[in-house]
Amino acid sequence: MIKRLEEATGAALYDALFRPRSVGLVGLSSDQRRPTGRVLEYLRRAGYGGAVHVVNPRHDEVQGARSYASLRDLPEVPEHVYVLLGTHLAAEAVATCAEIGVKVVTVLADGFAEAGAEGARRQNVMVETARSAGMRLLGPNSMGLADLHSGAWITVNAIYAEPDQLAGRAVLISQSGSLMGGLISRARALGLGFSKSVGVGNEADLSVGEIGLLCVDDPDTDVFLLFLETIRDAGRLAEFAATAQAAGKPVVAYKLGRSGVGQHLAVAHTGALLADDAVVDAYLRDVGIARVCTLDGLIEAAILFAGRRPLGKKVPVVGVITTTGGGGAAVCDRLALAGAQIEPASEATLEAIRATGLNVVRAPMTDLTLAGAGPQFVLPALEAMARDPKFDVVVSVSGSSARSAVAETMRPLIEADKCGKPFGAFLTPEAADGLRMLIEARVPAFRTPESCADAIGALLRWRAPRAAIAPLPSAPEQGVVIDERASLALLEGLGMPVVPSVEIEITEAGGTALPFPYPVAAKVLSDAVPHKTEAGGVVIGVDGSEALAAAAVAIARRVAGTHPGVTVARLLVQPMVQGLQEVLLGYRRDPQVGPVVTLAPGGVLVGLYNDKAVRLAPVDEATAAEMIEEVVGLAPLRGYRGLPKGDLAALARAVAAFSRLAEHRDVLEADANPVLVLRDGVVTIDALIVKEE
């Protein structure tokens, strides 16, 4: 008989996860060298203060602790149980946990959703068992979690076997258990610790977003670092990002799958869905998560982002100051590739530096070496740069003295960081001591020019969450096509300008009076023929009623050939419109992140250059205008090479209107292609919409 608990939420759930009064270890091995034998030792070393209960029917005692034959035999019901058994026994243990009233269970075993359809079914049953009892589940396929402040190291991760753990102020949440140890060890080498590390495994119940939400108020946490292979609960993750940002606690993510192969592997590894990286990128930006692209950058972002809010400027400006030419140039080169706008210091700043006796010249980077700077000149110069209102971020590059005179070289960097402006330091030589000194003082410091540019680029691109983001539930895989006329009407209803069109019977094509002059375009009108051009269903430049009759016959004959069995009865006739440039608008309910809208140039080269702007839908006109600016191939409309400018305000209105498809919950997918941009206005020429059945 399963008793229904009041489900733990908020603070109670947080406590059960990260500082439970008692922990149960089911299946603890007596062999400490095995992953399943590690947890007890970890809890002891961490000084965990609660009760630990071991369940292992094969022994009376395991690693010096009394061992019980079953969860039911324990002297109390543990708040948090870590199940260390294999797939099938684990599922049984979870059921027992649910029965006896455990609050949170963490499951190590794999063999669930990541292992195919049968595993997915097994996982669903297990989660259903847990949830129906009001119990929450971390995993399966989870290496567990560690709270460095409470001592709850409920994890099998090998990294915690090491003696020198370092508590810090960042929460690490990872979909990859194995990479977690890599990140923790790399961070520790820099002197960076975590407040918590959580391996979410398959996220069958507790997701990255929900775990993050639980930790937003944690006083030991300033910033969140995520290692993501996929996006599983986009709505909750967005809610977490917004809540965390409001609390002044940034969320930074490394997301696998920037390449096709990477996407494929993330999918194979986790059983998740394949996604277009541009969609993931749009999602992360729109929900207010900063994205880095290097592992070092993820770690080093912890201090750079802590306590920051998005810069809130369209084109933030970076100032670079250096005591070494080559190292400074290497950083600038990378920063510029990461999209940074690097500018010379203002004349007032240069004057302030010159007043100390250094003859610096105006240049993209303020180079103190050329001016022969001794260490006494560095701090005033750094402070002048940090106070320059022109700069949103200041980067300092140090040369060999970062190695040969560590303390003297780090001191001005530590002082300058107190100016409050986002500030980063790159040390050109190998300078582990210097890096540690900076990080100890909570100065953002970077090991390579590449990670420096990566983390700072992420800060520059980081945005506040956009207001209206409410991902829809996943779309069904199949839908029904609606015909062009209905599609155009739906878009017109949203406020998009559409080309006038009349529907005529094919048999009456020659005799119908049209409400607009020739020449016209004639297109087959049938929801059974979504791809009209390929079907031979379009004739353009029809210049009179006879030609229209002939076009109708030709279309009927050709479509009959390409679509045997489809009866074509109607044509859509439209005036020919001349525009400056064609664009393409796309909408879909992405299975991972929900409704997204895409803008791209039209024409035959669409797709070749992957030149598009993507946002979560709906967007307002300001966001639409930003999308238009992002698309390189729309330069002609901006007057490139003296070409006539298009009506980009009208295009922004049209993009915003189109994106309101997100309010039609039954629309799965839509294309407006082409939308013609004119000198004055825009007009939608063709559209195709797929709805739920």
CB 334, min distance to its own copies, A: 8
Judged by CB under 8 A, does residue 260 bind its own copies? yes
Q: Is 12 left (phi over 0), alpha (psi -120 to 50) or beta?
A: alpha
- Main-chain phi, psi angles of 137, to 5 degrees: -130, 130
Judged by CB under 8 A, does residue 178 bind its own copies? yes
Complex with its own copies: residue 99 or 630, whichever CB lies closer: 630
Judged by CB under 8 A, does residue 391 bind its own copies? no
Cis-peptide, bond into residue 310, ω within 30° of zero: no
CB 266, min distance to its own copies, A: 6
Return the residue matching tokens 């395991």: 62
Site size for its own copies (CB under 8 A): 77
Residues 225-244 as x/- pattern, contact with its own copies by CB under 8 A: --x-x---------------
Classify each residue of 102-116 as buried b or exposed e, where b means 16 or more C-beta atoms within 10 Å of its C-beta: bbbbbbbbbbbbbbe
Q: Which long-range contacts (CB under 8 A, 24 or more apart) does 407-414 make?
A: 407/437, 408/375, 409/375, 409/378, 409/434, 410/434, 410/437, 410/438, 410/441, 411/379, 412/375, 412/378, 412/379, 412/382, 413/382, 413/438, 413/443, 414/438, 414/441, 414/443
Report d(CA 144, CA 211) in Å as an integer: 13
**Among 129, 230, 324, 659, which residue interacts with its own copies (rule: CB under 8 A)?**
324
**Among 203, 450, 590, 647, which residue interacts with its own copies (rule: CB under 8 A)?**
450
**Among 32, 369, 512, 545, which residue interacts with its own copies (rule: CB under 8 A)?**
369
Helix (H, G, I), strand (E, B) or coil at 450: helix
Q: Give the binding range for its own copies (CB under 8 A) out of 63-71, 294-302, 388-396, 408-416.
A: 294-302
Judged by CB under 8 A, does residue 643 bind its own copies? yes
Question: What torsion do the CA atoms of 353, 355, 358, 360 make, to the nearest 10 degrees?
Answer: 50
Instruction: Scan residues 183-222 and list those touching its own copies (CB under 8 A).
Output: 185-186, 188-189
**Among 2, 12, 120, 179, which residue interacts with its own copies (rule: CB under 8 A)?**
179
CB 263, min distance to its own copies, A: 8
Residues 573-612 as x/- pattern, contact with its own copies by CB under 8 A: -------------------------------xx--xx-x-
Judged by CB under 8 A, does residue 636 bind its own copies? yes
**Among 9, 404, 562, 567, which residue interacts with its own copies (rule: CB under 8 A)?**
404
Helix (H, G, I), strand (E, B) or coil at 111: coil
CB 610, min distance to its own copies, A: 9
Judged by CB under 8 A, does residue 428 bind its own copies? yes
Please list, in sequence order, all residues whose beta carbon lies within 8 angstroms of the beta carbon of residue 182, skipping any fewer than 6 positions away. 295
CB 449, min distance to its own copies, A: 6
CA 304 from chain center: how many Å?
Answer: 19
Helix (H, G, I), strand (E, B) or coil at 525: coil
Structure tokens at 572: 């859509």
The number of helix segments (H) and strand segments (E) in the chain equals 21, 31
Instruction: Scan residues 460-489 and list those touching its own copies (CB under 8 A).
Output: none
**Among 77, 95, 161, 414, which residue interacts with its own copies (rule: CB under 8 A)?**
161
Please list, in sequence order, all residues whose beta carbon lies within 8 angstroms of the beta carbon of residue 520, skipping any fewer than 6 positions away. 514, 542, 548, 573, 574, 575, 576
Judged by CB under 8 A, does residue 403 bind its own copies? yes
Nearest CA to 293 out of 508, 452, 519, 121 is that of: 452
**Among 170, 287, 350, 431, which residue interacts with its own copies (rule: CB under 8 A)?**
431
Judged by CB under 8 A, does residue 455 bind its own copies? no
Give yes or no for a contact between 85 and 105, defined as CB atoms under 8 angstroms apart: no
Report d(CA 212, CA 172) in Å as an integer: 9
**Among 235, 429, 497, 681, which residue interacts with its own copies (rule: CB under 8 A)?**
429
**Among 138, 330, 445, 584, which residue interacts with its own copies (rule: CB under 8 A)?**
330
Q: Give the binding range for its own copies (CB under 8 A) out of 351-359, 399-407, 518-526, 590-598.
A: 399-407
Q: Give the binding range for its own copies (CB under 8 A) out of 78-86, 165-173, 250-258, 497-505.
A: 250-258
**Among 109, 146, 302, 342, which residue interacts with its own copies (rule: CB under 8 A)?**
342
Judged by CB under 8 A, does residue 84 bind its own copies? no
In angstroms, what CA-CA distances link 426 with 414, 430, 439?
Answer: 13, 10, 12
